[in-house]
C-alpha cells in the first residue's frame, strides 16, 4: 500500500532511530552515547564502554565492578558444549565455528530466551559477553589441535582471552600487559558502529522476536563477509600477495583503478565515512607502536604505508572519497600479536558484541518496533499459463 521506493543497500533509508552511536561521515566523527571515540579509546576500558553501550551511561566504580563480576562468573562453557569443538574439521573457519557455538548457547539456556523479558535478556547478554572470548579461544585451539583450557577468572576480560588463546597447560604463559592494553583499545574501537550490515542483521532477526543468541549468531555470519568484518583478514592477504608479487605497490593500485575483477583496495572506502575513518587514525598509531616492539620490522607495514600514501594522492581514490577504514591497519597488529589471519574477524566480533546487544535491546524496548519486512519492486514475468512438463 502507498508508495514503495527502491533503495538497494539502504543507501538513503534509515531503518530505525537510535540513541547509541553518532557518526558524521563527512567530518569523520564517531561518538558512543555522545562520547568521542578518541577519548574512549585513550581513557576508558572495553568493559566500561560495553556498560556504556548497554546501559546508556558510564558506570560508577561500583557499577563497573558489579558488571565485570557478573561477566566473570559466566566465562565457563557447559562441558557438553566443549565437545562441539572436536566435531568440526580442523581447517574450519573460526568464524563458522564461533557462530555455530553461539547458536548452540540457545540450547543450553532455554530458561532465558524470552526476548520480551528484560531479566532474561540481561542474563543472556551477560552470558554472551562472558562466553564469547572462551568460544573464540576454543575455535583457535581447535584449529591448531591444542587442548581446550578452562577460563581462569582471576584474570581480567582481555587477559583471560589471551591466556586461553596462547597459553598451554605445559608452559607458563604471561600475558604482555602492552598487548592486552592495545587489544582492549581495539575492542573499544569496534564496539559499535550504528546500523552496519551485521548490526542491521542482528536487529532484523530480533525483530521477528528470535532470541538474542540466534540474533547475534546471525550478526557474526554477516560480519564474516570480506566487505564487512572479513576485510581485516582480506587486507593482510592483499598485502602478502603484493609482497609475493615483488612488492610493486603502484602496479597493484593500477589494477584496482582498472577495476580488475575481484581486485579492490581492501581496508579502503566506507558507506558512511567520506573522510578519514577516525578509528583508522587511532589504529594506525597503535600499529606503529605495536610493530616498533618487534625484533624484526614487518615489511607488510611498510607496504601498507606506501599504499595509503599513493591512494590518498591519487585522483581515483580522492574523487571517490576513499580513505583507510578501521580494517586497514588492524590485521598488522593482530599478526604482530601472534594471531593467524583466520582469527582476525573473530577479534572484530569480540569487539562488536556489546554494540549488537545494545542495539538489539534498544529495538526490543522501542514501542515503535515492528518486524523488519522490506518491500520489493517485482520485475519478473507477468501472469502466464502453466505448461505441462512433456510440452516444454
Ligand atoms: N577499492 C577500490 N574502489 C573502491 C573501493 C575500494 N576499496 N571502495 C569503493 N570503491 C569504488 C567503487 O568501485 C565505486 O566506484 P564507481 O563509482 O566507479 O563505481 C565507488 O568507489 C563507490 O563505492 P561503492 O561500492 O558504491 O561504495 P559502498 O558504500 O557500496 O561500499 C564498501 C562500501 C566498504 C563495501 C567498499 O568501499 C569496499 O568494498 N571496500 C573494501 C572492503 C572493506 O574495506 N570493507 C570494510 C568496511 S569498514 C568496517 C567494516 O564494515 O568491517
137 lies in some domain: yes
What pLDDT score does 293 carry? Answer: 81
- How would residue 296 be classed by pLDDT, with cut points 50, 70 and 90? confident
Residues 207 and 81 reside in one and the same domain: yes
Q: In what order do the strands lie in the sheet with 35-36?
A: 21-24, 29-32, 35-36
Tell the residue nearest (CA) to atom 40 of ligand 1: 269
What is the position in ligand 1's atom list of the atom closest to the CA of 256? 2
Across the chain, mean pLDDT equals 96
- Claim to verify: residue 236 and residue 120 sit in the same structural domain: no
Same domain, yes or no, for 147 and 294?
A: no
Q: Tell me the CA–centroid distance for residue 186 and ligand 1, in Å.
A: 22
Spacing, Cα 249 to ligand 1 middle (Å): 19
Please indicate, yes or no, whether residues 305 and 349 belong to a single structural domain of this protein.
no
User: What pLDDT is stored for residue 290 in this prediction?
Assistant: 86
Tell whether 118 and 145 lie within a shared domain: yes
pLDDT band at 297 (very low <50, low <70, confident <90, very high): confident
CATH of the domain at 73: 1.10.580.10
Both 284 and 327 in a single domain? yes
Same domain, 218 and 257: no
**Cell numbers describing residue 301:** 607495514
ipTM of the complex: 0.97
Is residue 376 in some structural domain?
no
**Residue at 16 is within a domain:** no
∠ CA 350-296-240 to the nearest 5 degrees?
60
Taking only the tens place, the pLDDT of each residue in 220-248 is 999 999 999 999 999 999 999 999 999 99
Res 1: pLDDT = 57
* Atom 36 of ligand 1, nearest CA residue: 269
**Arithmetic mean of pLDDT, 8-34:** 96
Look at residue 212 and tell me whether its pLDDT is greater than 90: yes
Residue whose CA is at the smallest distance from ligand 1 atom 26: 271
pTM for the model stands at 0.96
The rounded Å distance from CA 270 to ligand 1 centre is 6
Among 306, 330, 311, 307, CA closest to 321: 311
Domain boundary among 319, 337, 355: 337
pLDDT in tens, 309-358: 999 999 999 999 999 999 999 999 999 999 999 999 999 999 999 999 99
pLDDT at 2 over 80: no
Best of 253, 269, 347 to mutate for ligand 1, by most ligand atoms within 8 A of CB?
A: 269
Statement to judge: residues 31 and 143 lie in one domain: yes
Q: Is the pLDDT of residue 363 over 60?
A: yes
The pLDDT of residue 295 is: 81
In this structure, is residue 370 part of a structural domain?
no
Residues 148 and 251 reside in one and the same domain: no
Torsion angle of C-alpha atoms 142, 148, 150, 154, degrees rounded to 10: -70
For residue 128, how many C-alpha atoms fall within 13 Å in the half-sphere facing its CB? 34
Q: What's the average model confidence in pLDDT over 165-175?
A: 92
Q: Is residue 92 part of a domain?
A: yes
Distance 320 CA to ligand 1 centre (A): 9
Strands 29-32 and 21-24: antiparallel
CATH of the domain at 296: 1.10.230.10
- Report how far ligand 1's centroid is from the alpha carbon of 266 (Å): 8
Closest ligand 1 atom to the C-alpha of 11?
29
**Structure confidence by residue, pLDDT tens digits, 90-108:** 999 999 999 999 999 999 9
Q: Are residues 84 and 50 in the same domain?
A: yes
pLDDT in tens, 106-140: 999 999 999 999 999 999 999 999 999 999 999 99
297 or 344: which leads in pLDDT: 344
62 C-alpha vs ligand 1 centroid, how far in Å?
Answer: 43
Domain tally, the chain: 2
244 and 281 assigned to the same domain? yes
Residue 240 domain flag: yes
Residues 64 and 169 in one domain: yes
CA distance 271 to 68: 34
Asked, for residue 315, whether it belongs to a domain, the answer is: yes
Binding-site residues, ligand 1, Cβ < 6 A: 9, 196, 227-229, 231, 256, 264-271, 320, 322, 325-327
Q: Active-site residue numbers?
A: 270, 327
- Residue 323 sits in which domain range? 231-337
**3-state helix/strand/coil string of the chain:** CCCCCCCHHHCCCCCCCCCCEEEECCCCEEEECCEEHHHHHHHCCHHHHHHHHHHCCCCCHHHHHHHHHHHHCCCCCCHHHHHHHHHCCCCCCHHHHHHHHHHHHHHHCHHHCCCCCHHHHHHHHHHHHHHHHHHHHHHHHHHHCCCCCCCCCCCCHHHHHHHHHHCECCECCCCCHHHHHHHHHHHHHHCCCCCCHHHHHHHHHHHCCCCHHHHHHHHHHHHCCCCCCCHHHHHHHHHHHHHHCCCCHHHHHHHHHCCCCCCCCCCECCCCCCCCCHHHHHHHHHHHHHHHCCCCCCHHHHHHHHHHHHHHCCHHHHHCCCCECCHHHHHHHHHHHCCCHHHHHHHHHHHHHHHHHHHHHHHHCCCCCCCCCCCCCCCCCCCCCCCCHHHC
8 in a structural domain: no
Which residue puts its alpha carbon closest to atom 30 of ligand 1? 271
**Atom number, ligand 1, closest to the C-alpha of residue 9:** 30
Give the mean model confidence (pLDDT) for residues 27-50.
98
In ligand 1, the atom with minimum distance to the C-alpha of 223 is: 52
Q: Whose CA is nearest to atom 27 of ligand 1?
A: 271
Structural contact between residues 58 and 70, judged by C-beta atoms closer than 8 angstroms? no
Going by alpha carbons, the residue nearest to atom 16 of ligand 1 is: 320
Number of residues that make up the chain: 392
Amino acid at each position: 500500500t502507498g508508495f514503495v521506493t527502491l533503495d538497494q543497500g539502504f543507501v538513503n533509508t534509515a531503518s530505525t532511530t537510535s540513541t547509541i552511536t553518532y557518526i558524521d561521515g563527512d567530518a569523520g566523527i564517531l561518538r558512543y552515547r555522545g562520547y568521542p571515540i578518541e577519548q574512549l579509546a585513550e581513557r576508558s576500558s572495553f568493559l566500561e564502554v560495553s556498560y556504556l553501550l548497554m546501559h546508556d551511561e558510564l558506570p560508577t566504580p561500583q557499577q563497573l565492578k558489579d558488571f565485570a563480576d557478573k561477566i566473570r562468573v559466566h566465562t565457563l562453557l557447559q562441558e557438553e558444549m566443549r565437545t562441539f569443538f572436536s566435531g568440526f574439521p580442523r581447517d574450519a573457519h573460526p568464524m563458522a565455528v564461533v557462530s555455530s557455538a553461539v547458536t548452540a548457547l540457545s540450547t543450553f539456556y532455554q530458561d532465558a530466551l524470552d526476548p520480551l523479558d528484560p531479566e532474561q535478556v540481561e542474563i543472556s547478554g551477560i552470558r554472551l559477553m562472558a562466553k564469547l572470548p572462551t568460544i573464540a579461544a576454543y575455535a583457535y585451539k581447535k584449529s591448531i589441535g591444542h587442548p581446550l583450557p578452562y577460563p581462569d577468572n582471576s584474570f581480567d576480560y582481555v587477559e583471560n582471552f589471551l591466556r586461553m588463546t596462547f597459553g598451554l597447560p605445559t608452559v607458563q604463559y604471561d600475558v604482555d600487559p602492552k598487548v592486552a592494553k592495545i587489544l582492549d583499545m581495539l575492542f573499544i574501537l569496534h564496539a559499535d558502529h550504528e546500523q552496519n550490515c551485521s548490526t542491521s542483521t542482528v536487529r532484523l532477526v530480533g525483530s521477528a522476536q528470535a532470541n538474542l543468541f540466534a540474533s547475534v549468531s546471525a550478526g557474526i555470519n554477516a560480519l564474516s563477509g570480506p566487505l564487512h568484518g572479513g576485510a581485516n583478514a582480506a587486507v593482510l592477504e592483499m598485502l602478502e600477495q603484493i609482497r609475493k608479487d615483488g612488492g610493486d605497490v603502484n602496479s597493484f593500485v593500477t589494477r584496482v583503478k582498472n577495476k580488475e575483477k575481484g581486485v579492490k583496495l581492501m581496508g579502503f572506502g566506507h558507506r558512511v565515512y567520506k573522510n578519514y575513518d577516525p578509528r583508522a587514525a587511532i589504529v594506525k598509531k597503535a600499529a606503529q607502536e605495536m610493530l616498533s616492539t618487534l625484533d624484526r620490522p614487518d615489511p607488510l607495514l611498510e607496504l601498507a604505508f606506501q599504499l595509503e600514501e599513493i591512494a590518498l594522492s591519487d585522483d581515483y581514490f580522492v574523487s571517490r572519497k576513499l580513505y583507510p577504514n578501521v580494517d586497514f591497519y588492524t590485521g598488522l597488529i593482530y599478526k604482530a600479536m601472534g594471531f593467524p589471519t583466520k582469527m582476525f574477524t573473530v577479534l572484530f566480533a569480540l569487539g562488536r558484541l556489546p554494540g549488537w546487544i545494545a542495539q538489539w535491546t534498544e529495538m526490543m524496548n522501542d514501542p515503535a518496533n515492528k518486524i523488519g519486512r522490506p518491500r520489493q519492486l517485482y520485475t519478473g514475468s507477468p501472469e502466464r499459463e502453466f505448461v505441462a512438463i512433456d510440452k516444454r
